Amino acid sequence: MFRAAQRGSGLPPPKPSAVWWCNGCRRTNPGRRFQCTVCKYGNTYDLCAQCVSRAGTLHPRHPLWKYDDTDNASTIHTIS
């Protein structure tokens, strides 16, 4: 499971591109996006809403930004 925490005082992550693919299921633009805050520059690590439930296995111990429908980072989700 993961828990939501408010964004810290650091800079927000870069705005994601309009076209992205999920590193879990390999689908392109599969809906809501969760982006790794550690791997956010260069080669990003993104998960869709279906795959984020497996984030502890797919991409352990890395917090994820949850993007809303307007591509604004709203919260950080950390794997517990």
Mean local confidence (pLDDT), 69-77: 59
**Res 60 pLDDT > 80:** yes
Judged against a pLDDT cut of 60, whether residue 5 lies above it is answered with no
| pLDDT score for 19 | 81
Phi/psi of residue 21, nearest 5 degrees = -135, 150
Break the chain into its structural domains and give their ranges.
Answer: 2-79
Q: What is the 8-class DSSP label of residue 24?
A: T
Q: Which two tokens stand for residue 45?
A: 């690590």
Per-residue model confidence (pLDDT) at position 14 = 56
What pLDDT sits at residue 77?
56
8-54 tens-digit pLDDT = 445 665 565 568 899 999 999 888 889 898 887 778 899 999 999 99
pTM: 0.66
Run of H or E residues at 55: helix 55-58
